Amino acid sequence: MRNPLSLHLRSARLVYDGVPLFENLDAEFAAGRFTCLLGPSGVGKSTLLRAFAGLAEVGPGAVSPELPRVAWMAQDDLLCPWLDALGNVTLGASLRGEKADLAKARDLLAQVGLADRAGAAPHELSGGQRQRVALARTLYEDQDVVLMDEPFAGLDAPTRWRLQELAATLLAGRTVLLVTHDPREALRLGHDIRVLAGRPVKLGPVLSPQGATPRALDDVSLLAMETKLIGEIADGAA
């Protein structure tokens, strides 16, 4: 059984070009829940995410726990062009010098709908398929904490829709933090939604829309919420 962790932010501080972007930012992202961090570009939401991955600094002791490993997924699929889909899924094992669990990798490729493409090179795959391989690679890492930085931003609408569905299903039970600037994505995927906006940048209250994820977004109350979120982001960006 999975024993997920909650993520904490204490007095986080980010200075950009000599100007403080945010200071004394505190937050908790709940264990085992899918949290979407929503905000306009340039508010430092990616930096917060990177801080949890150990890739950026937002002040001493600001992020806890300090994780030696996380499952990480970025907007760029970051597939190695010299490896086939299977090799990309097991990249982590190969970089740690471990023996790759090929059965597990094949099973994950099947779960993302690419069972018959295990031997395909990245340049033979479509953008959506490539991001599916990246999702399988993220799952192969099998970490309690999954950090995603606008993973579906570069995809067309139907492809994005299907991948959101896959992500919601396959990442259930883990502590997921997903950064996005798309309120619709946040409403579709987030158990909890936090808006990061304003000047100085502040983190809004936890918003927990009704219904199981992935939400179909055909509910009027969700549309009203989307309008409200867009307003908050727009005000924050001004």
Partner 1 sequence: MIRAVIIALGFVAAWYALVAATGVPHYILPGPARVAVAFADNAGFIAENAAITFLEIVLGMFVGLLAGLSCALALAMSRLLRVWMLPLIVASQAIPVFAIAPLLVLWLGYGIASKIAAAALIIFFPVASAFYDGLARTNAGFLDLARTMGARKPLILLRLRFPTALPALASGVRVAAAIAPIGAVIGEWVGASAGLGFVMLQSNAQMRVDLVFAALIVLAAFALIFYAAIDRLMTALVPWDPKRIDR
Give me the residues that bind partner 1 (CB under 8 A), please: 50, 53-55, 68-72, 74, 76, 78, 80-82, 91-92, 94-97, 121-123, 141, 147
Taking the complex as a whole, the smallest distance from the CB of residue 202 to partner 1 amounts, in Å, to 27
Nearer to partner 1, 119 or 211 (CB): 119
Which tokens go with 85? 């889909």
Tokens representing 45 are 């939401």
Q: How far is the CB of 197 from partner 1 (least distance, A)?
A: 25
CB nearer partner 1, residue 19 or residue 95: 95
In terms of CB distance, is 54 or 204 closer to partner 1?
54
Alpha-helical segments (H) within the chain: 45-52, 85-89, 91-96, 102-111, 127-140, 157-170, 183-189, 220-237
20 vs 65, beta carbon nearer partner 1: 65
User: 122 or 128, CB closer to partner 1?
Assistant: 122
Q: Residue written as tokens 């001493």?
A: 60
Give the other-Cβ count within 10 Å of 27's Cβ.
16
121: number of Cβ within 10 Å: 16
Distance, in Å, from the CA atom of 87 to the CA atom of 176, rounded to the nearest integer, reads 25
The one-letter code for the residue type at 235 is D
Q: Could you tell me the two tokens for 3?
A: 């024993």
Nearer to partner 1, 99 or 123 (CB): 123
Nearest distance, CB of residue 142 and partner 1, angstroms: 11
Cβ-proximal residues to 141 (8 Å cutoff; 6+ apart), any chain? 69, 70, 71, 72, 92
Cβ at position 93, least distance to partner 1 in Å: 9
Whether 120 and 84 have beta carbons less than 8 Å apart is answered as yes
CB of 177 to partner 1, least distance (A): 13
Taking the complex as a whole, how short is the minimal distance between the CB of residue 209 and partner 1, in angstroms?
29
